[in-house]
């Protein structure tokens, strides 16, 4: 086989092994090692294996990953995310579908601190869904809103996916963080609008909340949730104002979370220790995937496959929008079967050269990629968040109900995606103010 054929076989092997649920980083690393050995020789493969991981891990920008993870885990352990659903319910509970809309708002805030779509979906499956089912919400709306709202953690900064995209495409992580603010808000507003319209047209879908709320309860809810918005605005505001870099912002966020937790006397030594352990585990997982992806990028470069893919896409579609449409279809299809991190790190080496040839703004494209990955998280048959919600609720709901409910949110996400593609200013307005 020649180099190109080896590259194609390597990509197919990775896709098959990922569908079989093998560990992403291990798959990418092993396939890359075997592919490099086949193209060059075993000695060269060993040399790259020993050099690439060290070179990658030594990048200073990667230190943002453990810091933002630590910020999220401290916030969770200290209870800074407690009361989000109850507070959102107080303010939007009376509108049609108010509890589902409250779930979207609370999930967006929770996800922005945790940076994890899966963690958000798992948490609110236990917090919000039982309450909605108790007052006779349709199971499809209750579970679909949780599954979809959990994906907002990928778009609303700080986002681990944005950090990885920035590193692998040499794009400003700060610009990506700021660019994700308006699309994240737009996504949440679109979800709430869809829920409100559906609940207005079909009241049996989501019975109105009829409870009373006192002024004392309103002030108490604000007292419970102020630390989290303050923390998020502090991190993003510091980046936007140029006070600190995104890498430094991770350390600032973790420090602010710890200071707030200590001031509220809500952090125990056991909780802090658990946050450190969870951060170490999460960091190792992300770094293992990233190292495997770096190895795989080296293998693809040697195989000349990215060059051939670039030539093929440019021959099929001459305009940037046409190329992005082709890439979008590929992402949505892959998202039905493969984890979002794996999709992004697998495809970036192939699509990045195409973007360079067309002069596409990588900050804008990064937001498009994140939105596509969000859609993949709730797209059947293997949308990860769908199974997270089903697993958290057990026999209380059927998987078909979760999938049925998520379908409305997939359609809403597609409308949002069209808006983001049609109007790049939605993503690029805030980064432009940083220049």
Q: What is the pLDDT of residues 407-427, one digit of tens each?
A: 899 999 999 999 999 999 999
Q: What are phi and psi of 391, to 5 degrees?
A: -65, -40
Domain ranges of the chain: 3-434
pLDDT classification of 198: cutoffs 50, 70, 90 = very high
Residue bearing the bigger pLDDT, 419 or 150? 419
- Using the predicted structure, report yes or no on whether residue 319 has a pLDDT greater than 90: no
Dihedral of CA 364/368/373/377: which sign?
positive
Q: Is the pLDDT of residue 214 over 80?
A: no
Return the higher-pLDDT residue of 317 and 277: 277
List CB contacts of 78: < 8 A, sequence separation 6 or more.
257, 260, 261, 264, 266, 267, 271
The reported pLDDT for the residue numbered 159 is: 80
Evaluate whether 162 touches 423 at the Cβ level (below 8 Å). Answer: no
55 falls in which pLDDT band (50, 70, 90)?
confident
Helix (H) or strand (E) segment spanning residue 325: helix 320-335
* Averaged pLDDT, 378-382: 73
Average pLDDT over residues 309-327: 77
d(CA 6, CA 206): 54
What mean pLDDT do residues 235-239 have?
80
The answer to whether residues 350 and 331 touch, using CB atoms and an 8 Å cutoff, is: no
> In the 8-state DSSP scheme, what is residue 207?
P
CA atoms of 336 and 329, how far apart (whole Å): 11
The confidence score (pLDDT) of residue 228 equals 72
Mean of the per-residue pLDDT values of the chain: 82
pLDDT at residue 194, rounded to an integer: 95
**Is there a contact between 151 and 188 (Cβ–Cβ < 8 Å)?**
no
Q: Give the per-residue pLDDT at 416.
A: 95
- Stretch 310-326: mean pLDDT, rounded? 77
Q: 41 pLDDT exceeds 80?
A: yes
Poorest-pLDDT segment among 113-122, 142-151, 179-188, 231-240 = 113-122
From residue 140, how far is each of 136, 158, 389, 411 by CA, in Å? 11, 30, 11, 15
DSSP letters along 406-433, please? HHHHHHHHHHHHHHHHH-THHHHHHHHH
Q: Which of 30-34, 144-148, 300-304 has the least mean pLDDT? A: 300-304
d(CA 78, CA 75): 5
Q: What is the pLDDT of residue 110?
A: 77
Whether this model's pTM surpasses 0.95 = no
Taken in order 161, 165, 168, 173, is the CA torsion positive or negative?
Answer: negative
Residues of the chain above pLDDT 70, percent = 91
CA atoms of 292 and 25, how far apart (whole Å): 5
pLDDT tier, 120 (very low <50, low <70, confident <90, very high otherwise): confident
Percent of the chain past pLDDT 90, that is, above it, reads 13
Query: In the predicted model, is pLDDT for residue 261 greater than 80?
Result: yes
More confident residue, 82 or 122: 122
Mean pLDDT confidence for 222-251: 77
b/e code 338-358 from CB counts within 10 Å (16+ = b): bbbbbbbbbbbbbbbbbbeeb
- Number of CB atoms found within 10 A of residue 250's CB: 25
Burial of residue 183, with CB atoms counted within 10 A of its CB: 0-12 exposed, 13-18 middle, 19 or more buried: buried
Q: Quote the pLDDT of residue 34.
A: 92
DSSP letter for 396, please: G
CA gap 36, 3 in Å, rounded: 10
Tell me if 121 sits within 8 A of 150, measured CB to CB: yes
Check whether 53 has a pLDDT greater than 70: yes
pLDDT given at position 193: 94
Residue 404 near residue 152 (C-beta atoms within 8 A)? no
Q: pLDDT tier at 317 (50, 70, 90 boundaries)?
A: low
Structure tokens belonging to residue 210: 């009829």
Q: Where are the alpha helices (DSSP H) in 170-245?
A: 173-179, 181-201, 215-225, 227-240
With cut-offs at 50, 70 and 90, classify the pLDDT of residue 93: low
Q: Supply 12's token pair.
A: 């197919």
Check whether 249 has a pLDDT greater than 90.
no
Q: How many residues does the chain have?
A: 435
């Amino acid at each position: 086989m020649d180099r190109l054929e080896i590259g194609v076989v390597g990509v197919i092997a990775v896709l098959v092994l990922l569908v079989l649920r093998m560990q992403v980083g291990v798959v990418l690393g092993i396939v890359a090692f075997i592919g490099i050995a086949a193209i060059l020789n075993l000695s060269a493969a060993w040399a790259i294996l020993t050099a690439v991981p060290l070179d990658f891990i030594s990048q200073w920008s990667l230190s943002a990953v453990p810091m933002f993870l630590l910020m999220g885990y401290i916030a969770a352990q200290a209870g800074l995310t407690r009361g989000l659903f109850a507070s959102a319910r107080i303010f939007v509970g009376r509108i049609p579908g108010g509890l589902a809309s409250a779930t979207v708002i609370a999930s967006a805030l929770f996800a922005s601190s945790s940076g994890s779509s899966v963690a958000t979906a798992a948490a609110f499956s236990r917090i919000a869904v039982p309450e909605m089912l108790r007052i006779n919400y349709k199971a499809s709306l209750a579970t679909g809103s949780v599954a979809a709202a959990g994906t907002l953690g990928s778009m609303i900064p700080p986002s681990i996916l944005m950090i990885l995209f920035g590193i692998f495409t040499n794009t400003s992580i700060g610009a990506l963080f700021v660019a994700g603010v308006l699309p994240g808000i737009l996504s949440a507003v679109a979800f709430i609008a869809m829920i409100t319209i559906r609940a207005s047209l079909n009241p049996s879908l989501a019975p109105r909340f009829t409870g009373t709320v006192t002024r004392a309860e309103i002030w108490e809810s604000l007292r419970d949730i102020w630390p989290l918005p303050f923390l998020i605005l502090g991190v993003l505001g510091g980046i936007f104002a140029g006070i600190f870099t995104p890498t430094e912002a991770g350390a600032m966020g973790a420090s602010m979370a710890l200071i707030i937790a200590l001031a509220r006397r809500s952090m125990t030594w056991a909780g802090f220790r658990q946050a450190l352990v969870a951060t170490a585990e999460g960091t190792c997982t992300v770094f293992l995937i990233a190292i495997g992806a770096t190895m795989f990028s080296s293998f693809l470069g040697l195989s000349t496959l990215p060059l051939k893919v670039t030539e093929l896409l440019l021959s099929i579609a001459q305009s940037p929008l046409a190329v992005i449409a082709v890439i979008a279809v590929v992402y949505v299809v892959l998202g039905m079967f493969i984890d979002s991190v794996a999709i992004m790190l697998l495809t970036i080496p192939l699509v990045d050269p195409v973007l360079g040839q067309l002069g596409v703004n990588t900050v804008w494209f990064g937001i498009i990629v994140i939105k596509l990955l969000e859609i993949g998280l709730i797209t059947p048959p293997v949308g990860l968040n769908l199974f997270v919600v089903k697993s958290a609720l057990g026999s209380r709901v059927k998987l078909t109900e979760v999938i049925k409910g998520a379908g409305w949110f997939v359609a809403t996400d597609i409308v949002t995606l069209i808006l983001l593609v049609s109007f790049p200013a939605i993503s690029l307005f805030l980064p432009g103010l940083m220049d």
